[in-house]
Structure 1
Amino acid sequence: MWAQQTNLGEDPHGGHGGHGGHGGSELPPFSFTRGLEFGGDDVFLVGCLIVLALYMTGVVRLRRRGDSWPLGRTLAFTLGVATIALVTCTGLNQYGMVLFSVHMLQHMVLSMLAPILLLLGGPVTLLLRALPAGGRGRRGPRDVLVRLLHSRYVRVITSPIFTISLFIGSLYGLYFTPLFDTLMDSRVGHLGMMLHFLAVGLVFFWPVMGVDPGPHRAGYPLRMLELFATMPFHAFFGIALMMASDPMIDTFANPPASLEVTALSDQSAAGGIAWAFSEIPTVVVLVVLLVQWFLSEERAARRHDRAAKRDGDRELAAYNAYLSSLGSGAR
């Protein structure tokens, strides 16, 4: 498939459109109809099928032993895998090699939309419930996962300092240095970059959303603060692309004439996509956090009511007695 993409960059005179020989002189102007045609990288297609199959195997395992698993989580995870396939197993992957705007759409979906949907599926919780524990004196797969979740390594990569720095650094360190052009020069580099986008999103949103257990479970206000901390940097990145007077990425500096776009208009569209995607997923996660917070308060209130019934509301009686003693002392 990569060879096919490389051939698209060859012009009749033996040259190449774009940086690194990955142009697209044979590609017609982009449209969503063409972009959604099947045909991307086989690695992602196989990976998506394997991940989805493993998740479904865990769900079936739970149900066979009589345990339930929310349908909403299964649907969210399936939709998350589908969004990955959408931008990597279709024509969007080919256009993303020659159009900055399409590449940025891939980046934003892989780092901000797909991770949210995957995490709403509770994959870590599913693993903890589906994996077998070890017997006496033996450590099973579930025990290994629990130990990993409580390891120093996981505590470091899920700390706010690390996740926020990684999320912001992945934008500026990739696009504002020669690293991006270097990665686009090879299939391995391109695949690694796409996987990096997905991994960064998962690491950032995992502790923020708090659906799955992890070493860091900050309060809801702090998690909202983490969520908003990246927004100004994302917005500035998008504005920088839109306001630039020259192409900033060599790979997309000379789009093939068949695409009927200029490098600056394509770059401006990429900036607009980056800016918009800093808002939409943030609102989705914020709504999820508010719902979780509301449900958490409701559960806490119900626990308090049950405790009050058991002890005859001893806490309230003690408080009233304290107020009475204060009143007696004042007199």
Structure 2
Amino acid sequence: MDHSGHGMSGMDGMTMDLPPFTLGRGLEFSADPFFLIGCLVGLGLYGWGVLRLRRRGDAWPVGRTVAWVVGVLSVGVVMNTKLNDYGMVMFSVHMVQHMIISMLSPILLLLGGPMTLALRALPPAGRGRKGPRELLLMLLHSRYMRVITHPAFTIPMFIASLYGLYFTPLFDFLMESKTGHIAMMVHFLMVGVVFFWPIMGVDPGPHRPGYIMRMLELFAGMPFHAFFGIALMMATEPMISTYSDPPASLGIEALADQNAAGGIAWAFSEIPSVLVLIALIFQWYRSEQRTARRADRRADRDGDQELAAYNAYLASLQTRGQ
């Protein structure tokens, strides 16, 4: 097979003349209109929701706002800088993009609670009518959402996004066009969202198992992620046609770059797991605290009722004595 000309030369000829990669060059601004507009819209709508709540005197946790902003910025950085350009011709840089947008960005976005914010900020449409809030509620409780957030769907999809994409001709096909590349990155983001949402998302959803089950769901997919990275690291020849003949200006060797990509994929199977585990333990702790407070209030209320009944009994005895 002739691999000459791979590296997105047909899509963007300038990527063939990129100088050797450095972090400084990688972080230079290089806008992708689709993701730039998407990030700005995401920040704008979230900001509108927070301001709407505050104007009517309702609070919104600062931590959720910070998580959402950092999550959107993480997408913006990997898709609107030279990282995106280098990712077209360097497997290792592409893998950084993939890991961030599929495993780090979704966690941060979900911790922002965008659905909860929308449900609180959007006004009710009124009796007998359906507005944006009602349509969002219908979506959250729909059969479609129950299917795509069920572990029987999310875990296989999470695994297939690695093996079914990179180890088949589908990846090369998508990388041949700008539209295909955007669709692939959006897919990575959405797969990460539906995978992590039932596990540690703060928004309401169709599936919300107990905390032990959530941990099991988390660790069910991670070994396959690690094996994918190890397969790339141990390969003795380039496995992805798109990256099999990197431009000479980069000064890299295809197999070494692929091994580096595998190392990045392997390492990233650990980092998000730790972050999600910390978030789960924190959520579990807060849930137990709320349960304990409710039990204390119930006990206090029952105690007050018992005391009132006892006092009434004493009063009745006194009345009889008189």
Distance 1:58 1:20 in 2: 42
Contact 2:6-2:241 at 8 Å conserved across structures: no
Contact 1:20-1:251 at 8 Å conserved across structures: no
1:28 aligns with 2:8: no
* Residue of structure 1 in register with 2:61 after alignment: 70
Distance 1:39 1:303 in 2: 52
* Residue of structure 2 in register with 1:10 after alignment: none
Aligned length: 301
Per the TM alignment, residue 256 of structure 1 is displaced from its structure 2 partner at its CA by 1.0
Describe the shift of the 1:309–1:17 C-alpha distance in structure 2 as closer, same or farther (beyond 3 A).
closer
Give per-residue Cα distances to partners, 1:298-325, cap 9 Å, x unaligned: 11112112212222399xxxxxxxxxxx
Find the partner of 2:102 among 111, 134, 148: 111
Contact 2:111-2:201 at 8 Å conserved across structures: no
* Residue of structure 2 in register with 1:156 after alignment: 147
* SS of match in other structure, 1:80: helix
Please give the TM-score of this superposition, normalised by the length of structure 2.
0.90
* SS of match in other structure, 2:226: helix
* Residue of structure 1 in register with 2:185 after alignment: 194
Amino acid at match of 2:272: P
* Residue of structure 2 in register with 1:248 after alignment: 239
The runs of 5 or more residues in structure 2 that have no matched partner are: 306-322
Give per-residue Cα distances to partners, 1:59-91, cap 9 Å, x unaligned: 111111111111111111000010001000000
* Residue of structure 2 in register with 1:209 after alignment: 200
Give per-residue Cα distances to partners, 1:12-52, cap 9 Å, x unaligned: xxx73546635743111101000000013121111111111
CA RMSD of aligned residues (A): 1.7
1:16 aligns with 2:22: no
Distance 2:5 2:169 in 1: 19
* Residue of structure 1 in register with 2:297 after alignment: 306
* Residue of structure 2 in register with 1:287 after alignment: 278
The runs of 5 or more residues in structure 1 that have no matched partner are: 1-14, 315-331
Distance 2:292 2:72 in 1: 37
Contact 2:173-2:180 at 8 Å conserved across structures: yes
Find the partner of 2:75 among 69, 84, 88: 84
Mean Cα deviation higher: 214-223 or 296-305: 296-305
Per the TM alignment, residue 166 of structure 1 is displaced from its structure 2 partner at its CA by 0.7
